[in-house]
Amino acid sequence: MSILSGKNILLGITGGIAAYKTASLVRLFVKAGAHIKVVMTPSSKEFVTPLTLSTLSKNPVYSSFVNEDEDNAVWNNHVDLGLWADLFIIAPATANTLAKMANGVCDNLLLATYLSAKCPVYFAPAMDLDMYLHESTLHSFQVLKSYGNIMIPATSGELASGLVGEGRMAEPEDILTFIENDILDKLPLKGKKVLITAGPTYEAIDPVRFIGNHSSGKMGFEIAKASANLGAEVILITGPTHEKITHSLINVISVVSAEAMFNEVHNYFKNVDIAILSAAVADFKPKEIASQKIKKNTETFTLELVKTKDILASLGAIKTKQYLVGFALETTNELKNAKEKLKRKNLNLIVLNSLNDEGAGFKGDTNKVTFIDDEDTVTEYQLKSKAAVASDLLNKIIENIHA
């Protein structure tokens, strides 16, 4: 999954020959999972049709302040468009439009939207060689960058005039990659490796039966997604679950038993910066596993259990630079038990949830948590979606590791 997945992207198209490439650019953004709206200058419609871009983006295309039909006039609100966008990409950006942007000229819908935008703005220049190297154009580049806009450099190649040189708009694939890399480079977990465990473990009794629990893995998967979206390289070690995730920064490793999870966690732990153990690992397993299905031929059945290896405690005993986070699911003396677990297992942070809180715990889409760190700071949150809890957790970790 691309870092652009779920983003609202506003694509501004100006009147240069490179506008024909924007159909491919829209398709790439859609394939990356982004939501696309297109704003065109009137002259750009001579190079690519609004119908093409509307079909590919699955949204209306905007090019004037008012859409008129036989009976009604509809105002296209440039302020709403600017506020809707998470990213605004102007490609191609002609010398004319760049000069207007640099000087606050506002004579079409695209420029009005640019002046209203609150999001990062990228611009991909496209023009002939002499225009690209002209002092006024170079001045526009500098002014726009001083405003915080991000320039996607033009490349060298054959230009519409027949000249060969700088001024060719970056190819759509390169524009997408540039934006993805720029976003990733600015994310707070860029360059960090995060290990996450999720889901239950199943401890075999015989070939068809096991000891397990009701964990769905949803919380761990949301933490993995949130970590990757903040730029981290994620190793997600999960027990049996119906949850699915696809992201270019997430490596999913599936296990079944506590022993298998223990081994995989220790394979990776020494090389990670952050470890978040949200899996509901079985505390006990059968001492002996029957090789054949156990027959129901007695009134009672006794199963001898032995403790599984304590993964969290084993990591606390060997951690060096790692920031270690554990989870505590409690039913009585919740805060006291969680604080004791944090100290006993040498954690940096523990996430407490109680089965006494409605909407918290296994299977559901919500959770109610309390964070306790190794400075004995207690932060309690109201009931939230597990996605929001994951975001709160990552923000707390980032705050602590940069403190």
Going by DSSP bridges, is the β-strand pair 87-93/384-385 parallel, antiparallel, or unpaired? unpaired
Of these residues, 8, 59, 213, 346, which one is catalytic?
213
The amino acid occupying position 338 is A
The CA distance from 391 to 317, in Å, is 28
Write the CB contacts of 112 (distance below 8 Å, at least 6 apart in sequence): 65, 78, 106
Preceding peptide of 92 cis, ω within 30°: yes
Give yes or no: 333 in active site.
no
* Closest-CA residue to 61 (of 73, 76, 82): 76
CB 154 within 8 A of CB 170: yes
CB 90 within 8 A of CB 122: yes
CB 236 within 8 A of CB 252: yes
DSSP three-state, residue 80? helix
Residue whose structure tokens are 């599984």: 308
Tokens of 150: 């991000």
Any alpha helices (H) in 73-127, and if so which ranges? 78-84, 95-103, 109-116
Which residues are catalytically annotated? Answer: 213
